[in-house]
Chain A
């Protein structure tokens, strides 16, 4: 496998951002649920 292919398949910081942001969304949803109901 070439270096470029390896890079294409490597974990990137953007994926961590996706996971982190979606985790934050869930926390916000929990906050809305508990604060407004």
Chain B
């Protein structure tokens, strides 16, 4: 990294932080601090919702996902537009009508205090852990690639977020997210055009797509009913809808974004904005990854993009085996370039038979390429079985650092750190709000001033920031913490979504039934997790953890029905005797 990169990186980050602090200083009351005064326009809400969901990992991992597995991942988002419409029709009107600050406040109005507190605590556990990982995940990748100290990076990202989130609350989060989204999209667009510029002179965009297509990278839609395939059209529409409903409808880090809306209409339009632009945005990020793939058809690439993995194996007794494999890969890359040139020439003369022949040649070479990469992973594992061999998170950052010009590297690093900061800011903001309002304020006996609760919200946000940095710093002690956090999220998400679905759609179910159903469900889900998932850490679990979302939601709804029925049966004679 040169001086220009450092200047752009530091300048961008400092500008965002100081702008956030300057624009939003001096919150007068809780409404100002927690709902940004309820003055936000739809585009602010839309950008804020998108920035919250798009973390650094989105921009590091997604292009790598496309590089290795093609663009099928976009199907994961197919349920999201439907979820946006359901939230606009059902969730937002109720939230606004009740003038709530937190999603769980609604549960007290609909059920009772204990249900509200239970949902709030479940949220704090899972989101608190997730906030730590949102900081840790980009730090571990950037520290491996750039050689920066992991803990210092955690502290820098966390502290920058704490400064403006504590100072300006929700308004600061929204204001900075607009800048961050601008930087993120500008950086990604510039990179996209740079990649196209790096391709050989005779390869235009259309040909680049043909090259990607020949290697099955453009298999975007899969209409099969195959349940073993992770991303299909049907799993996207059903599972994606379910997850998006839980995330956007009940997770305070998202709910707080659209509660800032000036009116119901502004909040609804903010989510409509997300429903329109989310899939194109994800498609574009995947397309960047596909173009990186095309770039590496003409340029040498490492066998494994994780530099720490390569270094480990080269310092081990397996170095010679790995070197031989690398030599084989170099020869294969030369073969690959010839095959791509043949393919391109065949496309030029529009000779169908020649195109098909060249395509088959490319498919054969890609198979050999995959075999080499799998062999490389095996050798790396032999050298050190603890090292991460899945290198999809490292593909894009490797491309950035080794190919982009000075200045743009700094901008792209600013993109990644901006994304990390925008997600973390929403999380800390939500964690502070929930702790201050759902737990602290609601359980205090004596009345306090508005300023007192603003101060309390600030302190709790600060505290959660420190906890998040702490979690990020100990995260490396655990082998697979990112996976673990996803599992913990799944353990709680289904239950919370079920509680909200009961609140919205089943008016006859009352507080006691829901509370005890939620407690019982949580215990059963934990037992299911322990017996079917946890005991098989080798990955041979009997049940995919994503199913916990569905099981939790279904179970809480069914048990609440049963409890409500019992409650009514027991109370009926009493009511009749009155």
Contact = CB atoms under 8 A, between A and B. Distances in A.
Given A25-B279, A25-B283, A32 B89 contact: no
A24 to B, nearest CB: 10
Interface string B238-282: 000000000000000000000000001100110010011001100
Contacts of A12: 88, 268
Nearest to B207: A36
Contact of B218 (A18, A21, A32): A32
B93 A9 contact: yes
Contacts of B206: 36
A30 B279 CA distance: 14
Contacts of A26: 78, 221
Given A8-B93, A15-B85, A33 B221 contact: yes
Q: Which applies to chain A's interface (DSSP): helix, strand, loop or mixed?
A: helix
B390 interface: no
Nearest to B74: A29
B216 A29 contact: no
B220 interface: yes
Contacts of B220: 29-30, 32-33
A17, A18, A33: residue with the most chain B Cβ atoms closer than 10 Å: A18
B81 interface: yes
Contact of A9 (B84, B89, B212, B214): B89
Contacts, number: 68
Contacts of B218: 32-33, 36-37
B81 A29 contact: no
A18 B77 CA distance: 14
A9 to B, nearest CB: 5
Given A8-B93, A25-B279, A37 B81 contact: no
B209 interface: yes
Interface residues on A, range: 20 to 34
Contacts of B219: 33, 37
A18 B268 contact: no
Contact of B268 (A14, A30, A36, A37): A14
A18 B277 CA distance: 9
B213, B214, B269: residue with the most chain A Cβ atoms closer than 10 Å: B213
A12 B74 CA distance: 26
A29 B220 CA distance: 6
A27 to B, nearest CB: 10
Nearest to B274: A18
Contacts of B276: 17-18, 21-22
Given A22-B279, A25-B283, A37-B216, A32 B209 contact: yes
Given A8-B92, A37-B219, A22 B275 contact: yes
A3 B542 CA distance: 52
Interface in B162-215: 206, 209-210, 212-214
Contacts of B221: 26, 29-30, 33
A9 B265 CA distance: 10
A18 B84 contact: yes
A25 B78 CA distance: 10
A21 to B, nearest CB: 6
Interface in B78-109: 78, 81, 84-85, 88-90, 92-93, 96-97
A30 B221 CA distance: 7
Contacts of B78: 22, 26
A32 B206 CA distance: 10
Nearest to B215: A37
A31 to B, nearest CB: 10
Contacts of A9: 89-90, 93
B527 to A, nearest CB: 39
Contacts of B84: 18
Contacts of A14: 268-269, 272
Interface in B522-554: none
B81 A22 contact: yes
Nearest to A36: B213
Given A22-B81, A30-B221, A15 B88 contact: yes
A17 B216 CA distance: 31
Interface in B46-103: 74, 78, 81, 84-85, 88-90, 92-93, 96-97
Contacts of A32: 209, 218, 220
Contacts of A33: 213, 218-221
Nearest to A2: B97
23 contacts: A5-B93, A8-B265, A9-B93, A11-B89, A14-B269, A15-B85, A15-B88, A15-B272, A17-B272, A18-B84, A19-B85, A21-B276, A22-B81, A22-B276, A25-B279, A29-B74, A32-B218, A33-B213, A33-B220, A33-B221, A36-B210, A36-B212, A37-B213
Interchain residue pairs A-B with the least CB separation, the first 7: A37-B213, A36-B213, A8-B93, A18-B275, A36-B209, A29-B220, A14-B272
Given A5-B93, A17-B276, A36-B213, 4 more contacts: A18-B84, A18-B85, A30-B221, A33-B221
